[in-house]
Structure 1
């Protein structure tokens, strides 16, 4: 299953792992890369030395390419932008902002630059400034989301730019990957299904909650603030929604969610923590290795696309 993305990134299969804060660390990134996809370490809001250690640990677990996701709202974003050059990282994906001021430095260092976008306008701007590809993410995804669905967003971005498009949001199996290929994408970015992989370090409570999820269990909070987030319904999301309806300030709402992702991922508090997951959580039924997940998805997609 060769595409411009698999050739660009020197990976066996056109599957990218999502850059999920607190979840996407060196074990998961290496597991996905060793399975034939592109693993990603999520820098999140972590200090530069923490990210450096994650990169170096990943290098001890895989000799395959892997990337780093830089969350541009992080107070350490500029330092991590320099770090990926120092550590000779193969690929950088970016989120929560515009990375164009860093692109010349990354390109000069031979780093492949793949911003995450949620609109045609941003995709076109990223192409203009030298991005190698984009991840076009629909609102079915977990975590911070835009407004357009994957079904509507992907073909519009594919038509608007010449660089390859990686689809994200709502891809949980081979059917989803085949579907986004039909929309013009050349790879799929997958997050939620890798959260329950053997290599994922998230708390067992978090994994079990995803595996037990139904189709209607995800919800979006934060629309009133302009920062919508998709996660699994729980006590925290219900409280957040109530405060939103009461017209509470952004600061009050932020106070409720402060440290909530860590609370769920590390401590296993799935009632008061933020259990971020995409709408495909209802498709997730078991814990597997990254290699098994990738192989299963590729095999199913190839049958549907009639690839020998």
Structure 2
């Protein structure tokens, strides 16, 4: 299926695997790329040297295009951009809007720039700055999210910009892809659905908790870092919501120390990143610290399997997922089902091409 997305980045299928911290590593990204979709490597949980090694590992596993997700507000963002350019990565995606200067630097080097946005005005801004496409995540999506549903946000953005729009939030099958195309999107992006594949390195016990979850078991909380964060509801999440400010600060400092050791960041760099997250937001210092080390809360679950000590970011769609296919099986199923849906919408006298 050819769309503006497949033409832009050179993949076979209009499907994107999002850059999930501790989840979207070389194994998952290369499996997605080899399945003909666009895999996005998560870099926020990696040091700079780790990122370069991870990019090279993906490149050794696949000849297909792939991307790297960056935090635009990170103190070392430019250094990471340099790695993407030097290593010949096809796509740079951003969780927050990158600056006009970063977009220009990447595009001048031939890198496709695809920011993720959650509001029409943000899409208009990055489009005006030269972004090649945008990923539009509705409130159903996992992790940090907004409160506008994909079915409302997506057509708004499609009508507002002249660049390809990729729909995210609530997608897991071919029916969703067909619906997104009908709205005018050039493809779909999925996180939770790719997390729940056999190629994902998330521990089996954690995957089992996702598979057992119902739609009502996926909640939005501000207890982690003061921002709306969609995840599975667990007793640990309940404890964060019950914790007072002093207790939250103690836990935040402890986890920040752990993340500092893992990431190799200095305390000064972590404080700088915390200030960047706090800027313009009504966050307490404990929340800002938690924001800076939220990766540790995710790592506890996604790497160590300690769901009693970590959080499990999740889209609402987790309540609809019941199996663990390989990336190749998933992509083939989504495309086959989407084509079936689209053919079924066309009268027999006018066969779908």
- TM interval, shorter chain, is over 0.9
1:42–1:69 Cα contact (<8 Å) kept = yes
Aligned to 1:134: 134
Q: Indicate the residue corresponding to 1:9 in structure 2.
A: 9
State the Cα distance separating 1:147 from its structure 2 match: 2.2
**Unmatched runs of 5 consecutive residues or more in structure 2:** 249-282, 344-351
Distance 1:49 1:8, change over 3 A: same
User: How many correspondences in the alignment?
Assistant: 308
RMSD after superposition: 2.1
Superposed counterparts of 1:149-188, under 5 Å:
149-188=149-188
Q: Where do 5+ consecutive residues of structure 1 fail to align?
A: none
**Partner of residue 71, structure 2:** 71
When Rg is computed on C-alpha atoms for both structures, the one with the higher figure is 2
Offset, 1:272: 2.4
Q: CA deviation at 1:232?
A: 0.4
Residue-by-residue CA offset, 1:101-160 (whole Å, 9 max, x unaligned) = 201111111000101011111111111111111001111111111221111100000000
Q: Compute the TM-score of the two structures, normalised by the length of structure 1.
A: 0.94
2:306 corresponds to 1:272: no
1:135 is paired with a residue of what secondary structure? strand
Counting helix residues as a fraction of each chain, which structure ranks higher? 2
The alignment partner of 2:69 has SS state of strand
1:241-277 deviations in whole A, cap 9, x for unaligned? 2248999773334559571100001110123211111
| TM-score w.r.t. length of structure 2 | 0.83
Q: Does 1:114 align with 2:148?
A: no
Match status 1:123 vs 2:123: yes
* Equivalence for 1:59: 59
Q: Please give the alpha-carbon distance, in whole angstroms, between the structure 2 residues aligned to 1:147 and 1:296.
A: 30
CA contact (8 A) 1:23 1:202 kept: yes
Tell me how far apart the structure 2 counterparts of residues 247 and 146 of structure 1 sit (CA, whole Å). 27
Q: Deviations over 1:4-46 (max 9, x none)?
A: 1111111110000011011101111100010010011010142
What is the CA–CA distance in structure 2 between the aligned matches of 1:107 and 1:36, rounded to whole Å? Answer: 23
Say whether 1:263 aligns with 2:297: no
SS in 1 for 2:184: coil
CA deviations on 1:179-218 (whole Å, 9 max, x unpaired) are: 2112111100011011121211111122111111111111
